């Protein structure tokens, strides 16, 4: 399973701007329960803020906390899906490549859904995932689940037998895997049993912030070899060891990958609404234009800026949803 780099979007009519990972549902449920997105103007990601910077797509995580890891976790995912349908209605729900490219052309604020922590998928009716065009699964969150270990487990092991079985099932159903929270032994196992593209939807570079949460150089190389996407987050806890960061740190992580490899597998995955610390100069989604300007001032060609700001994500989802 490979991505065709000469897909139908090789010469787009409109430039794509895509955030590959936001935790809107998490913040809405935790802090603003039963309030539609349209009525929450102060979030880091809102419909009006997306419009102001022409951000067409926010990939919204269906985040299942580790505390629900059990045979009942599928019930929590069902509630998340229902909540998204009810309270994220202001965002157009992209379910096909045609939807994706129309949203970009129309500059229509839209969403794609992904699963973050797939313990729930062992029992979940996956026909319901298909109805919502969900085709990306992060196997773990930070802790241990029935599939394997997340990257906050102190002495992590690889994928469990149940995890390997689920990977093979999901791969046959056309899923791609998000390794943003998967511990390294599980990452290695995934490479051995799955030959398709991988993404890391919100991450940092370990060479700049030596944290288990971040990607090592050989992991980045493996994702690039698979034609996947490495998306840099805005969360200070991923960008620096101290946990304090600014917009310049986002650029440094992007630049490290661009200089070490190229710009054709880099994306943005802010993780907005999923962390508490403030990133100085990148407090909400409207700061995407400042990041663009920073890359331009640093001498990045326009083609590379467009790729990083969304064209790489567009290519990936155009293929996945096509």
The domain spanning residue 174 has which CATH number?
3.20.20.140
Give the total number of structural domains in the chain.
1
Q: What are phi and psi of 26, to 5 degrees?
A: -60, -50
Q: Tokens 């390294």, residue?
A: 184
Asked, for residue 106, whether it belongs to a domain, the answer is yes
Asked, for residue 269, whether it belongs to a domain, the answer is yes
DSSP H helices in the chain: 24-31, 47-52, 73-87, 97-106, 126-131, 161-172, 184-193, 217-225, 236-239, 247-260, 288-297, 302-306, 312-321
Asked, for residue 179, whether it belongs to a domain, the answer is yes
Q: Work out the burial of residue 13: count CB atoms within 10 Å of its CB; fewer than 13 is exposed, 13-18 middle, 19 or more buried.
A: exposed
Residue 13 has pLDDT above 70, yes or no: no
pTM of the complete model beyond 0.85:
yes
Asked, for residue 254, whether it belongs to a domain, the answer is yes
Asked, for residue 13, whether it belongs to a domain, the answer is no
Residue 231 has pLDDT above 60, yes or no: yes
Q: Given this model, what pLDDT does residue 319 score? A: 98
Q: Given this model, what pLDDT does residue 15 score? A: 78
Q: Given this model, what pLDDT does residue 201 score? A: 98
Asked, for residue 12, whether it belongs to a domain, the answer is no
Domain that holds residue 296: 18-321
Asked, for residue 8, whether it belongs to a domain, the answer is no
CA angle 60/37/143 to nearest 5° reads 35
What are the C-alpha distances in Å from 242 to residues 181, 184, 232, 284? Answer: 20, 22, 17, 21
Question: pLDDT tens for residues 58-96?
Answer: 999 999 999 999 988 999 999 999 999 999 999 999 999
Q: What share of the chain is helix, strand, coil (3-state, %, to 5)?
A: 45, 15, 40
Q: Given this model, what pLDDT does residue 8 score? A: 44
Q: What percentage of the chain exceeds 90 in pLDDT?
A: 95
| DSSP at 183 | -
Q: Given this model, what pLDDT does residue 130 score? A: 95
| DSSP at 131 | H
Q: 198 Cβ partners below 8 Å, 6+ apart?
A: 176, 177, 178, 179, 190, 191, 222, 223, 226, 228
Asked, for residue 224, whether it belongs to a domain, the answer is yes
Q: Work out the widest C-alpha separation in the chain, in whole angstroms.
A: 52
């Amino acid at each position: 399973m490979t991505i065709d780099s000469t897909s139908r979007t090789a010469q787009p009519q409109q430039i794509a701007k895509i955030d590959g990972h936001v935790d809107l549902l998490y913040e809405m449920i935790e802090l603003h329960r039963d309030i539609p997105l349209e009525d929450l103007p102060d979030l880091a990601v809102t419909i009006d803020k997306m419009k102001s910077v022409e951000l067409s797509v926010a990939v919204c995580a269906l985040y299942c906390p580790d505390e629900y890891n059990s045979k009942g976790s599928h019930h929590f995912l069902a509630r998340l899906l229902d909540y998204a349908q009810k309270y994220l209605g202001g965002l157009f729900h992209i379910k096909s490549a045609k939807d994706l490219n129309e949203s970009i052309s129309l500059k229509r604020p839209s969403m794609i859904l992904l699963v973050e922590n797939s313990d729930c998928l062992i029992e979940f009716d996956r026909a319901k995932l298909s109805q919502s065009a969900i085709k990306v699964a992060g196997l773990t969150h930070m802790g241990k689940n029935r599939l394997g270990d997340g990257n906050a487990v102190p002495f992590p092991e690889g994928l469990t037998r149940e995890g390997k079985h689920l990977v093979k099932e999901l791969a046959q159903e056309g899923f791609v895997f998000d390794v943003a929270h998967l511990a390294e032994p599980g990452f290695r196992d995934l490479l051995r049993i799955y030959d398709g593209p991988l993404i890391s939807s919100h991450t940092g570079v370990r060479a700049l912030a030596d944290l288990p949460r971040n990607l090592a150089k050989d992991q980045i190389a493996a994702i690039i070899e698979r034609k996947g996407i490495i998306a840099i987050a805005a969360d200070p806890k991923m960008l620096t060891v101290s946990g304090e960061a600014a917009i310049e740190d986002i650029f440094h992580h992007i630049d490290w990958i661009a200089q070490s490899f190229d710009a054709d597998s880099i994306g943005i995955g802010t993780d907005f609404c999923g962390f508490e610390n403030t990133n100085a100069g990148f407090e909400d989604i409207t700061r995407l234009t400042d990041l663009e300007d920073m890359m331009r001032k640093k001498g990045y060609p326009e083609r590379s800026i467009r790729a990083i700001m969304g064209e790489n994500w567009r290519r990936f989802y155009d293929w996945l949803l096509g």
